[in-house]
Chains A and B, each alone.
Chain A
Amino acid sequence: MAYLELDRVAKQFGVQTVVDDFSLSVGKGEFISFLGPSGCGKTTTLQIIAGFLDPTRGAIRLEDKNLAAIHPAKRGLGIVFQSYALFPHMTAAENVAFGLEMRNVPRGERAERVRAALAMVGLAGYEDRHPRRMSGGQQQRVALARALVIKPSVLLLDEPLSNLDAKLREEMQIELRQIQRTIGTTTILVTHDQNEAMSLSDRIVVMSQGKIEQIGTPQETYERPASAFVSQFLGKTNDFAGTIDRTVVPTQLVVGSWRAPAPAGLSGPVTVSVRPERIGFGDAGLSAKIMTRIFQGNHWLFQCDSECGPAIVIRQNDGQAQPAEGDAVRLTWRPEDMSVRARAGA
């Protein structure tokens, strides 16, 4: 049964539709990411759930209660803001205690829960620090503790890691996932970082221009992107122009000199998407020339000029000899590693 349900939610500012026809049901304890470029409506959707914005159309239900009818202060959601929005005139402990105070939790229990929340995010001993005396990562943890201490029904995270440096971000991702697994809070994360969405979430909602492009597990969205936008946005991909030839038997999918049995249901011009790490160098296939070869430690990155346009190939550094710059190669991949879509025009 759906725990949190958004039913055809839409938001308009004047004539501009920022979120359109957004339907999603979130299971209890699930970790969902809203992923998309800036301006795709993901933060707006989060703010609608939080109650800072009212939806123009549609319904939001939490455990079958109409959430839109509840005042934001009474929704009991935990929110971590991109800027953290900590109260600068209060210590870390006072920040975390604020939500409990508003709930009239008795003093003794309050102190105990604040201590436990700060310990959970690894800030034991920082109770009396003021936010401006803490690093970005520490402030982020205080914000997380403040949101979690009230035992929220849903935890909303608005790009919480985007202000941290790369190494810290990775650490916080792992920690966030562990904390979420331990306490089992239903969580919605808004992010534009596909790695963050993939490493943290149970399911990803890929958004573009206010619309949902795809909802699926990280593997599904990566391996079987539902649209050109998803395949471009999630990881690197090669798009080749191909054709399905139904004049020969059996029908063939032709991409340059690469050929395979045609998939059912399509004919004429198509776009073939293949991930760079799924392309190998073989004896037959798309003929290409290696323009640059970049060594990146655990893998090699090749930029090739193929007969169907530029192509990127990633090969594991498994100790095998790799082609050099200027070498002529044949690019090949297994039919199950590509996704084929009808191509407009042409």
Chain B
Amino acid sequence: MSTAADERNARAPWALTAPALMLFVGVLLIPLAMTVMLSFHDWGQYKGIEPVFILKNWHEIVTDPYYAEMFWRTFRIAILTTLLTALLGAPEAYILNRMDGRWKSIFLLVILGPLLISVVARTLGWALLFGGNNGLVNKLLMSAGVISSPIPFMFTETGMVVALAHVMMPFMVLSVWAALQRLDPQIENAAMSLGAGPLTIIRRIIMPQIMPGVLSGAIIVFSLSASAFATPAIIGGRRLKVAATLAYDEFLNTLNWPLGAAVATLLLAALVLIVVGSNALIERRYAEVFR
């Protein structure tokens, strides 16, 4: 009928989203594409970056076992962190959900509070407690005679997992919390009236229904842990590198930007694959709960 109006209507969404789209393209897509391109450039100690297309960096990452070990460490830490947050965060959210109104809001604040504090400050806290002979906890335990040498925490994977789990906990608790809000408030009473005990109710009724929340929390925690920088940098330092700290060092210390770009690109690609893949699996597996 009125094609001019139709055309205008078709253009309107584009016009309205243009500012955000331009920002998105300008600050995310273009730098991302440039990083990917950078990973194919050449670099030499004396010649700097040469804008040519070679597979040298990728070849090095694939063949040098150092990188395999480092990526494997990155994902091992991320997986362990995810497991730890799930094991502690899911029960935490469940208990929180069962609390009375006032205590509930106080403890929710306790859980979310750390999000207001810088990750660096939180991780340095761990260093203050467990950092070598001068760490507060180590000092106390050693003077009490419980241990003879400091607890190995700094520069260990265990330390990194514990510190990361601490940083990531709110994301897991919030995600499980959201799943718990979707539960029918009478569902536990219904199961109880049919003869189920408390453990059966948690195992057969609550767990299957909050699993999607645990898994989406796990995806968030996993991807944030695998790409985390501040915590691994402080706890692991130079001795225990993960993908993010390695890329940082290549960029800012070695100045081998192309190699750093290749590490960053590989980390990004691996994460995207893992997240998209597991998300698809979860959605198929829990289709009935999500509907």
B288 in contact with A88 (CB, 8 Å): yes
Specify which chain B residues have a CB less than 8 angstroms from the CB of A118 in the assembled complex.
none
Interface size (A, Cβ < 8 Å)?
Answer: 29
B192 at the interface (CB under 8 A from A): yes
Of B85-93, B132-140, B194-202, B259-267, the one contacting chain A is B194-202
CB–CB B193/A78 < 8 A: yes
Closest to A96 in B: B194
A103 to B189, CA, bound (A): 17
How close is B290's CB to chain A, nearest CB, in angstroms?
A: 9
Query: In the complex where A81-B190, A83-B186 touch, is A102 in contact with B195 (Cβ < 8 A)?
Result: yes
Between A88, A99, A132, the greatest number of chain B beta carbons within 10 A of the residue's beta carbon is seen for A88
Q: Kindly state whether residue B191 has any CB partner on chain A within 8 Å.
A: yes
Most buried by A among B187, B193, B286: B193
For B, the interface residue count at a CB cutoff of 8 angstroms equals 22
How many Å lie between the Cα of A76 and that of B195 in the bound state? 7
In the complex, the answer to whether B189 meets A98 with C-beta atoms within 8 Å is no
Encoded as 1 (CB less than 8 Å from any B CB) or 0, chain A from 286 to 302 comes to 00000000000000000
Within 8 A of A (CB), among B246-285: none
Quick one: CB contact mask for B189-230 with A, threshold 8 Å, 1 for yes?
Answer: 111111111001000110011000000000000000000000
The answer to whether A102 and B194 touch across the interface, beta carbons within 8 angstroms, is yes
Instruction: Name the interface residues of B171-189: CB closer than 8 Å to any CB of A.
Output: 184-187, 189
Name the residue of chain A whose CB is nearest to the CB of B288.
A130
Contact of A89 with B by CB under 8 A: yes
Q: Which of A50, A132, A147, A150 contacts B288, CB < 8 Å?
A: A132
The residue of chain B having its C-beta at the shortest distance from the C-beta of A79 within the complex is B193
Q: Is the CB of B189 within 8 A of A52?
A: yes
- Does A42 lie at the interface of the complex (its beta carbon under 8 Å from any beta carbon of B)? no
Judged by a CB distance under 8 angstroms, whether B59 is at the interface is: no
- Beta-carbon contact of A99 and B189 below 8 Å: no
Residue contact B189 to A73, C-beta cutoff 8 Å: no
B189 closest partner in A (C-beta): A52
Q: A88 to chain B: which residues have CB within 8 Å?
A: 209, 288-289, 291
* A77 adjacent to chain B (CB < 8 Å): yes
Measured between beta carbons, the chain B residues less than 8 angstroms from A78 are 193
- Cβ of A98 and Cβ of B191 under 8 Å apart? yes
Point out residues on B near A: beta carbons under 8 Å: 184-187, 189-197, 200, 204-205, 208-209, 286, 288-289, 291
Closest 10 CB pairs of A and B: A102-B195, A99-B194, A85-B190, A85-B186, A89-B208, A132-B291, A130-B288, A79-B193, A81-B186, A85-B184
Q: Which A residues fall within an 8 A CB radius of B?
A: 50, 52, 72-79, 81-89, 98-99, 102-103, 130, 132-133, 146-147, 150
Listed A/B pairs (21) with beta-carbon separation below 8 Å:
A50-B189, A52-B192, A72-B192, A73-B192, A73-B193, A74-B195, A81-B189, A85-B186, A85-B189, A87-B187, A87-B190, A87-B205, A98-B194, A102-B194, A102-B196, A102-B200, A130-B291, A133-B288, A133-B291, A147-B193, A150-B195
